[in-house]
Amino acid sequence: MAFEGLADRLQGTMKKITGKGKVSEQDVKEMTREVRLALLEADVNFKVVKDLIKRIKERATGQEVMESLTPGQQVIKVVKEELTELMGGEQSKIAVADRSPTVIMMVGLQGAGKTTTTGKLANHLRKNHNRSPLLVACDIYRPAAIKQLETLGTQLDMPVFSKGTEANPVDIASEAIEQAKAEHNDYVIIDTAGRLHVDTDLMDELEQIKSTVKPDEIFLVVDAMTGQDAVNVAESFNEQLDISGVVLTKLDGDTRGGAALSIKAVTDKPIKFAGMGEKLDELEAFHPERMASRILGMGDVLTLIEKAQTNVDEKQAKELEEKMRTASFTFDDFLEQMGQVKNMGPLDDLMGMIPGANKMKGLKNAQLDEKQLSHVEAIIQSMTKKERQEPSIMNASRKKRIAKGSGTSVSQVNRLLKQFDEMKKMMKQMTNMQKGKKGKGMKF
Ligand code: GDP
């Protein structure tokens, strides 16, 4: 998970100060020293760290903390607010032009995730804003890039404007906008060429496209895993093109956090989106406050709820509730549930959004093992339809077969059956409790 090292260290530091009824200057000094080291180790820009620590120190020794009844918590609030501010404060929304189409230009180095993000952004605009984007292939130097965008277009069932490798990128972009007008596409997303390094030819070309199509947004796509390099790249692109925002990709990886925490401070341009995986629905609007919350182990319940809302079918949820009430929940339902949770993204990431979850001992390694989940899935899939509904009919030889079929052991099969049985018992108890409450005329 992203920020893991940083989050662990900052949480350790914050824990020391949380319950303090009195915070001395020495406490603040120690705390800021630890925060400073943690940030530097996470590859956050040196100057950014220096300024941030100065602000935290001033506020932590100021009146708002010293006069508070819970100074320990006030200090943490200060750190969270400063981290939020560092990443841009408010969430930065995507532009909507007065005239249609709104034009977005995607720029960035090769391999940063520009083409994938073009597809993800189009998907986001359609899914969450009901828009109909046109994708434009302007990377004429790499036929593979054009092909990649066309494949994304097919996957998304969205139009892609391309003129192969012979046409001029400036012409391609302008013609695409004309087509979008004619076909009523309200967003045009231009995937431009990338290079391995920032070079003047590329910048000249991008400037020409910019001055011709006058985009409403220029999004620079940078790879979070590259840390300070991403920040340097952002600085050069911004100097040349005056970008409007950054998309930080690969935040699902093992990134230390340096790019996310430095980009806004260094370029004064906000991070607008974060790439959280290779799939087309793995793009999240970047919320500085939620991100700060995650880094400090306070969780991110809002994003979790949003994910649940988009991935869990309400009708299915209602049916499930009914099944739980009548205790007719079967292994088939269980399988379906697992599928829905999986759609929400990697478990590790989801756990990072639950407040305090990373502090629960054992959770970190034991239950988050996705391999274990796929074993559970395999076991259920090896059962017959009847067995899934009535697990008690499974005898020893069937269990052996199921273990073999699913590549697990009989004891794993037994464990799952036992857990399922316990879960059903618990559902029954909960239902009875609710009935009991109802009987006494309580509202809930
Ligand atoms: P481009 O050269 O900048 O257009 O980069 P691509 O879009 O081809 O992406 C390069 C690689 O990064 C591909 O393998 C993508 O699947 C991968 N990628 C892009 N965004 C993400 C992300 O948010 N997370 C992960 N894990 N991989 C990503």
427: helix, strand or coil: helix
Q: Are residues 151 and 288 in the same domain?
A: yes
Q: What is the DSSP string of 267-299?
A: H---EEEEE-SSSTT-EEE--HHHHHHHHTT--
Q: How far apart are CA 242 and CA 240, in angstroms?
A: 6
| Cβ-Cβ contacts under 8 Å for 17 (sequence gap 6 or more) | 23, 27, 31, 72, 75, 76
Is 282 contained in some domain?
yes
Total Cβ atoms within 10 A of residue 119: 25
Alpha helix positions (H), 67-142: 71-86, 114-129
The helix (run of H) or strand (run of E) holding residue 111 is none
Task: Grade residue 370 by pLDDT with cuts at 50, 70 and 90.
Answer: low
Q: Identify which of 258, 347, 371 has the alpha carbon closest to the alpha carbon of residue 5.
A: 258
Q: Are residues 120 and 194 in the same domain?
A: yes
Q: Are residues 36 and 76 in the same domain?
A: yes
Q: What's the gap in Å between 171 CA and the centre of ligand 1?
A: 27
Is 434 contained in some domain?
yes
Atom of ligand 1 nearest to the CA of 111: 2
Is 94 contained in some domain?
no
Q: What is the ipTM of this complex?
A: 0.98
Q: Are residues 266 and 329 in the same domain?
A: no
Q: What's the gap in Å between 306 CA and the centre of ligand 1?
A: 24
Lowest mean pLDDT among 155-169, 190-204, 265-279: 190-204
Q: Write down the pLDDT at residue 440.
A: 39
The helix (run of H) or strand (run of E) holding residue 161 is strand 160-161
Prediction pTM value? 0.72
Lowest mean pLDDT among 50-59, 198-207, 332-341: 332-341
Using N-to-C axis directions, what is the helix angle for 200-213 and 169-183, rounded to 10°?
30
Report which residue type is found at 359: K
Tally of domains within the chain: 3
Is 346 contained in some domain?
no
Report the binding-site residues for GTP: 108-115, 191-195, 249-252
Atom of ligand 1 nearest to the CA of 148: 8
Q: Are residues 197 and 272 in the same domain?
A: yes
Q: How far apart are CA 410 and CA 382, in angstroms?
A: 13
Q: What's the gap in Å between 223 CA and the centre of ligand 1?
A: 8
pLDDT single digits (tens) 306-337? 666 666 666 666 676 677 666 677 888 877 77
Work out the average pLDDT over 115-136. Answer: 95
The CATH number given to whatever domain includes residue 57 is 1.20.120.140
Query: Domain boundary residue among 298, 322, 350?
Result: 298
Q: Are residues 150 and 251 in the same domain?
A: yes
Q: Is 298 exposed, middle or buried (0-12, 13-18, 19+ CB in 10 A)?
A: middle
Q: How far is CA 87 from CA 10, 55, 91, 239, 372, in A?
A: 17, 15, 9, 20, 36
Find out whether the beta carbon of 297 lies less than 6 Å from any atom of ligand 1.
no
Is 351 contained in some domain?
no
Is 97 contained in some domain?
no
Range of the domain at 426: 312-340+369-439
